[in-house]
Amino acid sequence: MRRPVALRLSAALSTMALAAATGVLLTMPEASAAAAGGATGFASQNGGTTGGVGGQTVRATTGTQIHQALCGRASSSTPITIEVEGTINHANTAKVSGDSCNTAAGVIELKQISNVTLVGVGSGAVFDQLGIHIRQSSNIIIQNVTVKNVKKSGSPTSNGGDAIGMESDVRNVWVDHATLEASGGEDDGFDGLFDMKDNTQYVTLSYSTLRNSGRGGLIGSSETQLDNGYVTFHHNLYENVDSRTPLLRGGVAHIYNNYYVKLNKSGINSRAGAHAKVDNNYFKDSKDVLGTFYTDTTGYWQVSGNTFDNVTWSSPGTENHPAGPDPKSNTTVSIPYAYTLDAASCVPAIVTGTAGAGKGLKVSDGDCSTTTPTPDPTDPTPDPTDPTDPTTPGGTNLSLGAGADGSSKASGTSYGNVRDGDLGTYWSPAGSTGSVSVKWPSATSVSAVTIREAAGAQGVIGSWRLLNGDTGAVLKTGSGAGSIGIPATSLRKITFEITGAGGTPRIAEFETYAG
């Protein structure tokens, strides 16, 4: 049975209801239009969460390449989608410096930046013992990735032990179809799987799996840090987790259509005046799945449509306030966005078929079945208008003109080989990425470029940017070698920047044309 819910109550009605139920005045954020790009829940509010939509797409197979992609942008807010494939670990994640980034070794650092999508592609992206740290950043999407065994003690350590951690003025983060897992609790060196601290707001965790951990995650690091919140959790699988699914200190959380299996000590822990709306979840083989635990500073909850399957409840105490065995609402929480509820009876099948990385980004259709979004909101397919036809444009190859020269920002074979008219010679960067340029002593009009790979290296070049070397402006982005058309641009230097490749590229020719 389909259950559409469109609760767009006014802020005045919301605060009246909350004040009447709890004696606490709670101001809800003003609702805004849902974001393009597929973000759901609270991540669709506050202007929306679109990540790198509208920017270039690059490929990364190491943590260092992820950092290089962030640091290679024109600014810290230039949109970018980073496709990740392979295993990211300490050995291949180094600090990279630049004006558009602030990175660190041993952690994927999304710090003081915005407008970024990090998406697993191909055979998958696994962040092994290495966490993702979001700090002083906004408009971030993380999708289709696995983060596992991140430790805060022992060896190696990363990200304070959090698989994904957000702190310090973070806004608008959507984590979707992720798998976050540990191999034990705090005594084994692990901390939270999904933590939000120090003024983190407008976050959604959807269609994700969190398992085998002592701590699922928290919102607020202390009973006095109450500036976090507006977080949505929906269609997630929590499996074999001791507690914090989540721990909520202050703020508002909307928790619906999640499947909880084997919560060993406690589950949703609403504390310090927090308000949780808990709809149509399925709790199985678990203990104390909802309430206020380990403190006498209580929180609040509104419940409806949940299923409690073999759930046990402890007795109330000074620092133990379980909502069950017959959970009742003790507040009212208004939700400013539209959403659709699956019946709780459908949740186990829906969630096990959709949650986590490598599930094809399948989602619920809102009627107890699954579907695949079309088009995929974060599909990193290159713009089909990007020309890849290697046919030579008409006119004279300006790279062979008098005074034309080649230069490179990366070491490797001779960069002069890219403008000598000889397909038997080539330039390569020292690794899989780098930049090579053609320049002239005076301004030259260019409206077409052809990149030709050497024999035996066809298809190695992945993602690239074509830059105005005079100003740094991005003229075009795409993937693969071939011909590239651009609006006629007068410049003295044009740069072809390889941002992703399937090996070491070999560029035989960097041809330039006036038309």
DSSP per-residue codes, 185-231: -GGGTB-BSEEEESSEEEEEEES-EEEEEEE--EE-SSTT----EEE
pLDDT of residue 460: 84
pLDDT at residue 130 is higher than 90: yes
Contacts of 506 (CB under 8 A, 6+ apart): 426, 427, 428, 453, 454, 456, 457, 460
Give the residue ranges of DSSP H helices in 250-387.
347-354
CB atoms within 10 A of CB 507: 27
**Cβ distance 39 to 33 under 8 Å?**
no
pLDDT of residue 32: 24
pLDDT of residue 27: 29
What's the rounded mean pLDDT across residues 443-460? 86
Point out the least confidently predicted range of 4-18, 42-56, 336-350, 443-457.
4-18
Distance CA 509, CA 400 (A): 10
For residue 389, the one-letter residue type is: D
pLDDT at residue 7 is higher than 50: no
pLDDT of residue 382: 37
Structure tokens at 14: 């919301």
pLDDT of residue 136: 98
Distance CA 345, CA 388 (A): 50
3-state secondary structure of 345: helix
pLDDT tens figures, 240-273: 999 999 999 999 999 999 999 999 999 999 999 9
410 — pLDDT class (breaks 50, 70, 90): low
**Cβ distance 484 to 448 under 8 Å?**
yes
The candidate with the shortest Cα–Cα distance to 164, out of 183, 177, 178, 153, is: 178
Torsion of CA 246, 232, 108, 136, to 10 degrees: -100
The candidate with the shortest Cα–Cα distance to 204, out of 256, 163, 239, is: 256
For residue 4, the one-letter residue type is: P
Q: Which residues are catalytic?
A: 244
372 — pLDDT class (breaks 50, 70, 90): confident
Q: Are strands 209-215 and 179-184 parallel, antiparallel or unpaired?
A: parallel
Point out the least confidently predicted range of 6-20, 37-51, 426-440.
6-20
| Highest averaged pLDDT of the listed ranges 42-46, 398-402, 475-479 | 42-46
Q: What is the mean pLDDT of the chain?
A: 87
For residue 387, the one-letter residue type is: P
Burial class (CB in 10 A: 0-12, 13-18, 19+), 279: buried
Beta strands in 61-103 (DSSP E): 80-88
Instruction: For the chain, give the percent of residues with pLDDT over 90.
Output: 67
Structure tokens at 495: 């740069």
Contacts of 385 (CB under 8 A, 6+ apart): none
pTM given for the model: 0.70
pLDDT of residue 374: 60
pLDDT at residue 392 is higher than 60: no
pLDDT tens figures, 141-176: 999 999 999 999 999 999 999 999 999 999 999 999
- What are the CA-CA distances from residue 188 to residues 126, 153, 185 (Å)? 21, 8, 5
- Position with higher pLDDT, 309 vs 401: 309
Q: Using omega within 30 degrees of 0 as the cis cutoff, is the peptide bond preceding 156 cis?
A: yes
- Residue 476's DSSP bridge partners are 466
pLDDT at residue 385 is higher than 60: no
pLDDT at residue 339 is higher than 50: yes
Structure tokens at 296: 């006498």
pLDDT at residue 485 is higher than 70: yes
User: Can you tell me which residue has the tokens 């038309």?
Assistant: 515
Give the residue ranges of DSSP H helices in 229-330.
none
pLDDT at residue 380 is higher than 60: no
Structure tokens at 28: 């809800």
- Residue 298's DSSP bridge partners are 271
Torsion of CA 355, 356, 358, 364, to 10 degrees: 20
pLDDT of residue 402: 60
